[in-house]
């Protein structure tokens, strides 16, 4: 069984064109994709969560 793709936070920030500080402000407002904290403290975002986040924002802009 394949594991869902998980992106590093830096990859997510590059894709959405946002600074880390702006991302965390958006996260504090509950408007960011869900983060997964790994046991080593690193953060990841599921590709499916990021794609859903993109889709929701495209609908909001339409």
Dump pLDDT digits (tens) for 12-54.
999 999 999 999 999 999 999 999 999 999 999 999 999 999 9
Amino acid 2: pLDDT: 63
Residue 11 lies in a domain: yes
Residue 31 lies in a domain: yes
Domain count for the chain: 1
Structure tokens at 54: 């993109």
Amino acid 51: pLDDT: 95
Residue 17 lies in a domain: yes
Residue 1 lies in a domain: no
Q: pTM of the full predicted structure?
A: 0.82
Amino acid 31: pLDDT: 93
Domain extent for 32: 6-61
Amino acid 58: pLDDT: 81
34 contacts: CB under 8 Å, gap ≥ 6:
45, 46, 49
């Amino acid at each position: 069984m394949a594991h869902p793709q998980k992106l590093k936070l830096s990859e997510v920030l590059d894709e959405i064109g946002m600074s880390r500080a702006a991302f965390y402000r958006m996260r504090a407002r509950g408007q960011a994709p869900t983060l997964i904290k790994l046991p080593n403290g690193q953060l990841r975002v599921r590709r499916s969560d990021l794609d859903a986040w993109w889709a929701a924002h495209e609908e909001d802009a339409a």
